[in-house]
Structure 1
Amino acid sequence: MSRSLIRIFVFVAVAASMYWTADGQTAAKVPTIDQSLEMYSVGSPKISPDGKRVVYEQTRTNWDANAFETDLWIADVATGERHQLTTTGHSCNPAEWSPDGKWIAFVSDRPGSLPKSPAEKRQLWIMPADGGEAQQLTKMEKGVGGFEWAPDSQRIAFSAEAPEPKPMKDRKESFGDYHVIHADYEMTHLWSIDLPKTDEAARVSAVGEPKEITKEDSFSVEEFSFSPDGTQIAFSAARDPDLISSFSKDIYVVAVKDGVVKKIVDMPGPDSDPHWSPDGKQIAYVTSNGEKYFFYANQKIAVVDAQGGTPRVISDAFDEDPDLLKWAPEGIYFSGLQKMSSSLYLLDPASKGIKKMAMPGSEIAGSFTFSKDFKQLAYRGAGTNQYAEIYATAALPEGSPRRLTHAGGQEAQYTLAKREVVRWKSGDGTEIEGVLYKPADFSPTKKYPLLVVIHGGPTGIDMPVVSADRYYPIERFVAKGALVLRPNYRGSAGYGAKFRALNVRNLGVGDYADVISGVDYLIAQGYVDKDRVGSMGWSEGGYISAFITTSSDRFKAVSVGAGISDWMTYYANTDITPFTAQYLRATPWDDPEIYKKTSPISYISKAKTPTLIQQGSADKRVPVPNSFELRQALEDHGVPVKMVLYDGFGHPINKPKQQRAVMEENENWFGHYIWGDPLAPALTPRPNDKKDDKDPAAK
């Protein structure tokens, strides 16, 4: 809600939580932008081996450090009692239980306790599961990536880059810092650290130096898992760490004792995320199955003999990307999307049959984790118009879930929008779904402004759950009297392989048709003011919004967040070059016409819509030349445009103060062009109020 500079200061800095109707009556209480940014979320549950406790992550906003941080909490499944495990003011995640249930390991950038620990590098820590001080295990020069406990709880394997080699240090000494493109790679490898068999009080203090398990310069390790007997590790690795090399990921097995490596899957396209069968004889993994255009094709689950051989795809019956979880005695568990729901599935490797597991009250569930006997389950779940919470079940598959957290209580004091699923036909007859946000006092006899908020991806998806606003102050827009449509345009996840491929060689064009047909559908319902429509989005959502800017005069305002304006510019600058070549089925040198057809900049002569452009200055995914190109073209054509560059940020804007700026810029822009509020020339600073980082749920 934009006003004069003074009123912006008063409303945002003090308590901008009330909106008024024309007669001065209070219409709704909504969170301020700061209050939205301070709302915490819960996630990544990990259930103990005996199923009695769950460790989970809870976010925290640290305004002083300008950071979103993560703490570990623990809940008792039987009683629901919970308390905070880590309180350092630094992020601690992820967490994993030792198989014997005695220890919890995690990674953190907290200050190190070991001598010569690199500052601000994420290291491996361990703490007693029953309480006690956490102690540092590693002091890797470049920090630690993923990790996993050995089955005997006596060692932990982790991934990390090796210390900088002497030749590189010598080069820097002589020539200073520089790097060669597609060279100078720093490979990630597997390491292990043993925990000596001593009494628990002295156990950690006796830890030795990590041992490097893999050393080859021909691959860079990604996901990995121990064999059931702990003697081997299966892992996926690409030829180098470049994102564009993901097509080269294959599956390997390494002997922990001597480091002997054997490649057991060697196919075109990425193969990843290996998991052992309970008897250690087979390995399940996720594969593109040789698909050339794997960016939008279905990934599949395949099984291969642990010694190598011909892989066997077993998940063809699931028309979406399966997220492989665990191989249990009863089958392989995976999670996946089906339209706007997500759930747990059990796959029979022999028959290839798939069973969907019931999640009562959590139609949108994920982050599943299992007890050692696979009888207990914890997960993150939500239903329509609900905030995501952590749940645990007493038994699979028919156990009743118990809610362990109450994060949704943060929203209780506010009047929130009501979310509902809507469907319409696009121009070519394709059915499109979306989430429509309505004011709590919605009346079909009124005319409302309509704001379209478009997700990224394109294989993202929007669902009708409640979450704290980031980037766009949606709840504030709705409370001010707008409807908000979040379309799952063609290419979105959850609707199967054919739907995801509908924007192949049709990017922007088909996506725009899906959005504009949704706008037309809502106008036809009689409750949308067709003269007050706006659009916004980040990444692919920013690209579609840029397409709207240059292709339509029906929108009054647009906000382009880190969006593509010219696919040729994008192709030559991005860190994910194959994405464009796969979706457009050509390089710009081979088929410049398809690049022209799908680029918003090609239609710039039609542009009339006032456009806000926002992006991080160090964005490698959608490089900033795209934003400069769009800004200059709009300026040359006399279209109102404002560009905001967030210094030092990559593709996401992931710090609270800059997210505050992103949200206020959008509120200012749409407040002016949709509601006629004064357009503030700049954001107004506010006092550095002391923020309360404590969790109300802990009281």
Structure 2
Amino acid sequence: MKKIIVIVSIFLIFPYICLSQQVQKRTPTIDELLSLKSLGSTAISPDGKYVAYSVRETDWKHNRYISQIWIAEIETGENFQLTRGKNSAGSFRWSPDGKWLAFLTQRDMPAEGTAPGEKKNGKIASTQIWLISPRGGEAFPLTKCERSIISFRWSPNGKKIAYTTSQPQSKKMKNRKEKYSDFKIVEKDYTMNELWVIDINTGKTKKLISEKDKNINQFSWSPDGSKFALTIVTDPTPKGFETADIYIFNQVDSSLEKLVSYKGPDSSPVWSPDGYYIAFNSSMGRNDFYYCNTEICIVRVDGGKVEKLTGDFDENAYIMSWEEKGIYFTALQRTYYHLFLLNPLTKKIKRITESYEFFGYSYSLSKDLNLMTFVSADAEHIGEVCYSMVDNFQPHRLTDMNDQIKDFTLGKRELIRWVSKDGTEIEGVLYKPADFDPGKKYPLLVIIHGGPTGINRALLDPQQRYYPIEQWLAKGAVILRPNYRGSAGYGEKFRSLNVRNLGVGDAWDVISGVDYLISLGFVDESRVGAMGWSQGGYISAFLATNSNRFKAISVGAGISDWMTYYVNTDITPFTIQYLKANPWDDPEIYAKTSPITNIKNATTPTLIQHGEFDKRVPIPNGFELYRGLKDQNVPVKMIVYKGFGHGITKPKSNRAVLQHNWEWFNKWIWGEE
């Protein structure tokens, strides 16, 4: 049955609903929205008195986004900025006693006898671990490694920090470069990560693991600090994640033993409080891990049978920690994101975030498990740092991020559902102008998410990087963001519906959504456009060559030919898992699902946007579509964003992407030159 679902604001229980009652005055500009501050992660102090959180700002002068660490006192609600500087500070972690906050940043390292922040030989330092008191004061570097620190963890007693960094270039490689200049052997010349430990008091470091055929991806200390559980891959590239296995390293005898070796990825190991078991995420040896459920499993540290705990939980379950009360994990439930508690003995699961229609992220627990912090948003409020009792979930706000948008007129968001061509129920987010009138006819713009295991949510998200949603709403458009088959949050069966059906089934879902909105009477069916980035760009390209329903299309970093993609991408297993064959064994499935196959049927004016150095969807995909449309005399324009990979990550270039889409659809949907 076709439905419109209005989301009840979780913020109605917050003590600041007056924000939504303030008069909204004007439509924000693209630059104003790109300049909005936004929240990243949170970390509550062990004693539950403070929460550290990151705030991202836009640095227009240096054309970059900068994140800094802030502190909020939970009892008083007082907030203050803890770190400053020209470079971001992040990946922060509290010491077990709560006296220090360690974080990663790239700053000029002080030489001997110089003050922190002074330049050493005029060189820019690599990323290091720095320490700062949560009460303020000057931060100082803990490590002074030759290579950047990648990740770190405090020891349980707080006396040491373990960290990963890349291996130095070997003498053999240095000699090769000196003799033959620089070249790389594909799928062979890897640089692996190694594991080190540093003593907090003395500054002495010790290398624990450094092997030429093993890359340290993740690690966690045992409760007694004598061992590590690790995720190790033999191929450190993105496609090599399938080689991830669980290992145990014993500091006493420096032994490294493989504990879990399923064919697919095994990751995120955490210790049981008694130190006898490891919990970890796994695809349980399945070769379809790009869309199958990620399970939580446990195994004894000394080996034995792996036990799956989440077999009855139909979604990806991501481990957060294993505490005395059980295993905490996060997971999607349709468009909502929750914190759960899993009893490893009974396998019973309890949702901590009690209200179903709730979205939170970056959950963090106090040491006594009584308090939690997180970031939460809804359809009427951008994200705020909040805290709650764990056993009596009632969010309380600690920040005032919504104050930034109090003078803006912003559109409305709501979840809708419709039925696709094959009877599958599809959900999506409908955006309406603030002054929406159901008696009028509106142009419709469809914005398609990437993934395919991405998801659209009915959240206030005015800070868009690629598509000027708020400006189009103010101009008089309605916008649909469909959660097409394959999207996350709806269970494994739904995520599997586009296997050997990429593009085809996706197009059914998009077009049926367009037809549903037309049937409601407020859409002008002669003015419908579609756009998307990554997988959304691929679906947009598929619509451009397989449908004449759209007045204009924009393809962002999209796939035009699955064979071209397969031989160029950095994640070749993705194609094999979704199409179930390589192009040499089954050219028919590659032809069926490739936009370029029906290029001669294309008529829709198409904008193509691509990063110059995109490794995920390499730029030959863009050129292939461009040349095909050009040869068919279809209006087409291709823009290459120099220096970028798969995502466009700097504000001035985001401004360009937004402006180019604004101009393209204004021309073809509104008839403006």
Question: What is the TM-score when the length of structure 2 is the normalising length?
Answer: 0.94
Deviation at 1:506, TM superposition (A): 0.2
Matched, 1:168 2:196: no
Q: Residue type of the partner of 1:224?
A: F
Matched, 1:121 2:126: yes
Deviation at 1:110, TM superposition (A): 2.2
> 2:474 matched to which residue of 1?
479
- SS of the residue corresponding to residue 150 of structure 2 reads coil
Q: Distance in 2 between matches of 1:306 and 1:373?
A: 25
> 1:178 matched to which residue of 2?
183
1:312-371 CA-to-partner distances (Å, cap 9, x unmatched) read 000112111011101111110101001011111110101111111135597011211111
Q: Distance in 2 between matches of 1:375 and 1:226?
A: 23
Contact preservation (8 Å) 1:360, 1:400: no
Counterpart pick for 1:384 among 379, 384, 389:
379
Alignment of 1:135-214 (within 5 A): 135-196=140-201, 206-208=202-204, 210-214=205-209
> 2:363 matched to which residue of 1?
368
1:541-564 CA-to-partner distances (Å, cap 9, x unmatched) read 000000111111111111100000
Q: Residue type of the partner of 2:601?
A: K
Q: Distance in 2 between matches of 1:28 and 1:555?
A: 33
> 1:23 matched to which residue of 2?
none
Q: Which moved more, 1:397-406 or 1:521-530?
A: 397-406
Alignment of 1:602-681 (within 5 A): 602-678=597-673
Counterpart pick for 1:547 among 542, 553, 556:
542
Deviation at 1:68, TM superposition (A): 0.6
Question: What is the TM-score when the length of structure 1 is the normalising length?
Answer: 0.90
Matched, 1:450 2:444: yes
Counterpart pick for 2:27 among 16, 23, 30:
30
Q: Distance in 2 between matches of 1:296 and 1:265?
A: 21
Contact preservation (8 Å) 2:352, 2:393: no
Alignment of 1:324-473 (within 5 A): 324-359=319-354, 363-393=358-388, 395-467=389-461, 468-473=463-468
Q: Distance in 1 between matches of 2:170 and 2:203?
A: 25
Contact preservation (8 Å) 1:617, 1:648: yes
Q: Where in structure 1 do 4 or more consecutive aligned residues deviate above 6 Å?
A: 115-118
Q: Distance in 2 between matches of 1:399 and 1:420?
A: 25
Matched, 1:310 2:305: yes
1:634-672 CA-to-partner distances (Å, cap 9, x unmatched) read 000001111110111000000011111000000010111
Q: Residue type of the partner of 2:137?
A: G
Q: Which moved more, 1:322-331 or 1:425-434?
A: 322-331
Counterpart pick for 1:569 among 542, 556, 564:
564
Deviation at 1:471, TM superposition (A): 0.7
Contact preservation (8 Å) 2:52, 2:72: yes
Counterpart pick for 1:248 among 239, 243, 252:
243
- SS of the residue corresponding to residue 657 of structure 2 reads helix
Change (3 A) 1:532 1:28: farther
Change (3 A) 1:152 1:41: same
- SS of the residue corresponding to residue 213 of structure 1 reads strand
Change (3 A) 1:654 1:113: same
Alignment of 1:251-266 (within 5 A): 251-266=246-261
Q: Residue type of the partner of 2:400?
A: H
Identity of aligned residues (%): 51
Deviation at 1:43, TM superposition (A): 2.2
Contact preservation (8 Å) 2:234, 2:244: yes
Q: Distance in 2 between matches of 1:653 and 1:141?
A: 29
Contact preservation (8 Å) 2:128, 2:145: yes
Contact preservation (8 Å) 2:336, 2:356: no
Contact preservation (8 Å) 1:359, 1:365: no
Q: Distance in 2 between matches of 1:66 and 1:259?
A: 46
Q: Which moved more, 1:157-166 or 1:513-522?
A: 157-166
- List alignment gaps of at least 5 residues for structure 2: 1-23, 113-119
Q: Residue type of the partner of 1:509?
A: V
Deviation at 1:130, TM superposition (A): 2.2
Deviation at 1:230, TM superposition (A): 0.9
1:58-101 CA-to-partner distances (Å, cap 9, x unmatched) read 00111111111100000001111100011102100011000011
Matched, 1:69 2:63: no
Deviation at 1:500, TM superposition (A): 0.1
> 1:685 matched to which residue of 2?
none
Q: Residue type of the partner of 1:223?
A: Q
> 1:529 matched to which residue of 2?
524
Contact preservation (8 Å) 2:71, 2:134: no
> 1:687 matched to which residue of 2?
none
Q: Distance in 1 between matches of 2:379 and 2:251?
A: 47
Q: Residue type of the partner of 2:431?
A: Y
Deviation at 1:254, TM superposition (A): 0.8
Q: Which moved more, 1:212-221 or 1:623-632?
A: 212-221
Q: Distance in 1 between matches of 2:306 and 2:510?
A: 41
> 1:593 matched to which residue of 2?
588
Q: Residue type of the partner of 1:663?
A: L
Q: Distance in 1 between matches of 2:357 and 2:95?
A: 28
Matched, 1:238 2:233: yes
- SS of the residue corresponding to residue 146 of structure 1 reads strand
1:584-640 CA-to-partner distances (Å, cap 9, x unmatched) read 000001100000000000011111111111111100000000000000000000011
1:484-542 CA-to-partner distances (Å, cap 9, x unmatched) read 00000000000000000000000000001100000000000000000000011100000
- SS of the residue corresponding to residue 519 of structure 1 reads helix
CA RMSD between the two structures? 1.5
Deviation at 1:460, TM superposition (A): 0.2
- List alignment gaps of at least 5 residues for structure 1: 1-26, 197-205, 679-699
Counterpart pick for 1:515 among 510, 516, 532:
510
Q: Distance in 1 between matches of 2:647 and 2:131?
A: 30
- SS of the residue corresponding to residue 363 of structure 1 reads coil
Deviation at 1:397, TM superposition (A): 1.5
Q: Distance in 2 between matches of 1:113 and 1:578?
A: 45
> 2:210 matched to which residue of 1?
215
Deviation at 1:256, TM superposition (A): 3.0
Deviation at 1:113, TM superposition (A): 2.4
Contact preservation (8 Å) 1:91, 1:110: no
Q: Which moved more, 1:407-416 or 1:28-37?
A: 28-37
Q: Distance in 2 between matches of 1:557 and 1:629?
A: 19
1:366-403 CA-to-partner distances (Å, cap 9, x unmatched) read 2111111111111111223321111111x221043221
Deviation at 1:229, TM superposition (A): 0.9
Contact preservation (8 Å) 1:362, 1:383: no
Q: Which moved more, 1:384-393 or 1:563-572?
A: 384-393
- SS of the residue corresponding to residue 230 of structure 2 reads strand
Q: Which moved more, 1:113-122 or 1:160-169?
A: 113-122
> 2:82 matched to which residue of 1?
85
